[in-house]
Amino acid sequence: MVAATVPEARTTTTSVIGVDLGGTKLLAGAVGPDLAVHHRVRRQAFGLDQPTLLATIVEAVQEAAQAAEAAGTEVAGVGLGIPVTMDRRTGVAVYSTHLPIAGMPFEAVMSEQLGLPVAVDNDGNCAVLAEVRHGAAQGADDVVMLTLGTGIGGGLVLGGKVQRGWIGAGAEFGHMVIDMDGPPCQGNCPNRGCLEVMASGSALVREAALRVGRRPDTPLGHALEEGRALTGPFVTELAHDGDPVALDAMGAVARALGVGLSSIVNMLNPEVIVIGGGVIAAGEMLLGPARQEMLSRALTPARDTVRVVPAAFGDEAGMIGAALLAREEL
Amino acid sequence: MVAATVPEARTTTTSVIGVDLGGTKLLAGAVGPDLAVHHRVRRQAFGLDQPTLLATIVEAVQEAAQAAEAAGTEVAGVGLGIPVTMDRRTGVAVYSTHLPIAGMPFEAVMSEQLGLPVAVDNDGNCAVLAEVRHGAAQGADDVVMLTLGTGIGGGLVLGGKVQRGWIGAGAEFGHMVIDMDGPPCQGNCPNRGCLEVMASGSALVREAALRVGRRPDTPLGHALEEGRALTGPFVTELAHDGDPVALDAMGAVARALGVGLSSIVNMLNPEVIVIGGGVIAAGEMLLGPARQEMLSRALTPARDTVRVVPAAFGDEAGMIGAALLAREEL
């Protein structure tokens, strides 16, 4: 620790704003070079029309940027993770199950409205980037990430690289079929029995709703009678408390997740599968039985060597990954 | 075409022996630098015990090698495509649905018995290599290959590279679940409702057998009564002739294949999906309805841009790819 003999130039640290836009909510954060999140902004995104959604994004980014600038850092750009299939050749959000932004040149529009450089990718690709660079899959070259929320997002790293497929629309692991004649998938997906409709937060709610009518004399049944809303977090909370209906619903979701994991293990032989998104609040109550189902179905040796672990960045993986994307691409 | 002023040195061309070992048969060939196949050897591989199977491979390779040497080419090595999950870190064939070679250090044993350099990979990885380098997916960087035979093999190229996963056991697209409570899978696979049990040659036979009992007064029913064996090629032949039971069975297999294709398109966004293996003898009768099923289920834009095409090398893709593997690795 020798004292400097000349005055140091004042260092301006740069921040980037990471935005994770989910099917129901938006999380933005000012992220420093050390990945520390200096200011978080949360907004509801559910059910907004396109102009309101875009205004919500702009306002959230500006709030985070102003906080970063007030703290003396320069904002170098914005990374956006959005739940869409992208055509990365054109920057157009071709398709979205949950948000009214299909057909939009999303990257160009955001860049113009924000007056900052913008990088856009699928939310699952952002999340896997965060977990591979600095999280639960650090150092691994072959990684699959699933984000279990309203829907199911996915991210894929093979051979050490984020693999988006030919035009950038890949890694939609939520739309892998596990039950070809199963329930119709959510939103605009034309498929049936996708992992998303069998193992997402929405699936947890549906499985609980299907069961609680037959077992009204349970904590969940009583809560609903008293007017409590049936949500994924509430079912998870009751399952932690031992409610039989909530536990059954969690078991059905865990089994479906395990079936999906067996397909992923067989097809891609990942070293690590990282599970993130809001539903991972269930922790080992979900992951334990899902791992068992995978082990009973997948092929050796891939099933015996894979690690199935919760996201290190929890439900901030998408936001932090979006910030990393901006740092790496801009 | 100026005459050479000095006598040309006699060029010794080199051949490699490519071997495709399937669940029921073995195809070996001496393959020149121009990919021309100079000598083919076919053997039955079904139901052999391990020593007999190994002896069969050695004998087939030696026959092809002798033919190549008799034609004045030097044999530089042997490439073997085998239907196993490999641990490429050790060269051990860890698991095989159809052949008695699990647990063997296959590469070392073959190299010793043949006295030649040997390269071993999964048969599906070999097939995709042939199709990407010189076949139906030439020039594409993101390609999935399915080989429909007794089982279903798979090969995966993403970002221009063969992707085998962490320890080399990936690309088992035949063991992607499409019906989680469906029929038990084949051989030693512990799963249910895998693509392999729903859309392979074996599935075609099973679907025909399930239907013909209810409709004995059909060409297929009559043929079986006369003692004809129920095989995939025979069902395909009758379907081409318009037999209603064979057509129904083909339709069920095509639908299952289309479901699997929709998952592949959503997860990996390939530019090309190449379908090879013996079952592709059904041609557009299989591929047409499979494409329609995929289009009705997969997400845009990936579904609208993918090409689903038959293998250019037909049922020789695995053998030629094994030869390419030997050329590239040895």
In a domain, A107, yes or no: yes
Is residue A299 within 8 angstroms of chain B, CB to CB?
Answer: yes
* Arithmetic mean of pLDDT over chain A: 92
pLDDT at residue number B12: 66
In a domain, B45, yes or no: yes
A326 phi, psi to nearest 5 deg: -60, -40
Residues B180 and B110 in one domain: no
pLDDT at residue number A4: 44
Q: Quick check: A166 and B192 CB within 8 A?
A: no
Residues B212 and B291 in one domain: yes
In a domain, B1, yes or no: no
Q: Which residues contact B120 (CB under 8 A, 6 or more apart)?
A: B79, B80, B81, B82, B86, B91, B93, B106, B107, B110
Asked whether residue A239 carries a pLDDT value surpassing 80, the answer given is yes
Is residue B295 within 8 angstroms of chain A, CB to CB?
Answer: no
In a domain, A2, yes or no: no
Residues A169 and A252 in one domain: yes
Residue B214, min C-alpha distance to chain A (Å): 24
What amino acid occupies position A204?
A: L
pLDDT-derived band at B188, boundaries 50, 70, 90: confident
Is residue A296 within 8 angstroms of chain B, CB to CB?
Answer: yes
User: What's B189's domain CATH number?
Assistant: 3.30.420.40
Residue B138, min C-alpha distance to chain A (Å): 14
Burial level of A8, CB count in 10 A (0-12/13-18/19+)? exposed
Pure H helices in chain A = 50-70, 106-114, 123-134, 195-199, 201-212, 219-225, 232-240, 244-268, 284-297, 302-305, 317-329
Query: A315 by DSSP, 3-state: which?
Result: helix
| Residues A268-327 pLDDT 10s | 999 999 999 889 999 999 999 999 999 999 999 999 999 999 999 988 999 999 999 999
Q: Which residues contact A176 (CB under 8 A, 6 or more apart)?
A: A194, A195, A260, A263, A264, B176, B263, B266, B267
User: Which of B145, B267, B303 to mutate to probe the A interface, most A CBs <10 Å?
Assistant: B267
Residues B20 and B108 in one domain: yes
Nearest residue to B42 (alpha-carbon basis) of B24, B68, B16, B15? B24
pLDDT at residue number A11: 54
Residues B170 and B38 in one domain: no
| Residues A165-197 pLDDT 10s | 999 899 999 999 999 999 999 988 999 999 999
Asked whether residue B9 carries a pLDDT value surpassing 60, the answer given is no
Query: A118 by DSSP, 3-state: which?
Result: strand
Q: Work out the angle between the directed axes of helices B232-240 and B201-212 (0-180°, nearest 10).
A: 70
Residue written as token pair 């055509």: A87
Chain B residue with minimum CA distance to A88: B301
Pairing of strands B74-82, B14-21: parallel
Residues B50 and B125 in one domain: yes
Q: Quick check: B165 and A181 CB within 8 A?
A: no
Cα distance between residue B104 and residue A303, in whole Å = 19
Is residue A90 within 8 angstroms of chain B, CB to CB?
Answer: no
pLDDT-derived band at A60, boundaries 50, 70, 90: very high
Asked whether residue B11 carries a pLDDT value surpassing 70, the answer given is no
Q: Quick check: A299 and B267 CB within 8 A?
A: no
Q: Which of B85, B190, B299 sits opposite A297 (nearest CB)?
A: B190
pLDDT-derived band at A85, boundaries 50, 70, 90: confident
Query: A268 by DSSP, 3-state: which?
Result: helix
What is the pTM (predicted TM-score) of this model? Answer: 0.90
User: Which of B299, B300, B304, B306 to mutate to probe the A interface, most A CBs <10 Å?
Assistant: B299
Q: Which of A85, A168, A300 sits opposite B94 (nearest CB)?
A: A300
Residues A37 and A178 in one domain: no
Residue ranges making up the domain that contains A164:
140-311
Tokens for A220? 């969940």
Residues B222 and B106 in one domain: no
Residues B49 and B149 in one domain: no
B327 phi, psi to nearest 5 deg: -60, -40
Residues A168 and A243 in one domain: yes
Burial level of B25, CB count in 10 A (0-12/13-18/19+)? middle
Is residue A154 within 8 angstroms of chain B, CB to CB?
Answer: yes
pLDDT at residue number B22: 82
Residues B153 and B172 in one domain: yes
In a domain, B202, yes or no: yes
Q: Which of B154, B163, B270 sits opposite A166 (nearest CB)?
A: B270
Residues from chain B contacting residue A263 (CB–CB below 8 Å): 175-177, 263
Number of compact structural domains in chain B? 2
Would you list the DSSP string of A92-104? EEEE-SSSS-TTB
User: Which of B128, B192, B269 to mutate to probe the A interface, most A CBs <10 Å?
Assistant: B269
Is residue B235 within 8 angstroms of chain A, CB to CB?
Answer: no
Give the CA dihedral A247, A249, A255, A259, nearest 10 degrees. Answer: -160
Q: Which of A170, A178, A180 sits opposite B268 (nearest CB)?
A: A170
A247 phi, psi to nearest 5 deg: -65, -40
Nearest residue to A81 (alpha-carbon basis) of A34, A26, A132? A26
Nearest residue to A122 (alpha-carbon basis) of A79, A92, A83, A164? A83
- CB atoms inside a 10 Å sphere around CB B172: 33
| Residues B152-180 pLDDT 10s | 999 999 999 999 999 988 999 999 999 99
Cα distance between residue A222 and residue A127, in whole Å = 37
Is residue A165 within 8 angstroms of chain B, CB to CB?
Answer: yes
Query: From edge to edge, which strands make up the β-sheet containing A14-21?
Result: A37-44, A25-31, A14-21, A74-82, A118-122
Q: Quick check: A158 and B165 CB within 8 A?
A: yes
Asked whether residue B7 carries a pLDDT value surpassing 60, the answer given is no
Chain B residue with minimum CA distance to A303: B169
The A residues from 186 to 205 touching B (CB cutoff 8 Å) are 189-192
In a domain, A103, yes or no: yes
Residue A271, min C-alpha distance to chain B (Å): 6
Residues A294 and A325 in one domain: no
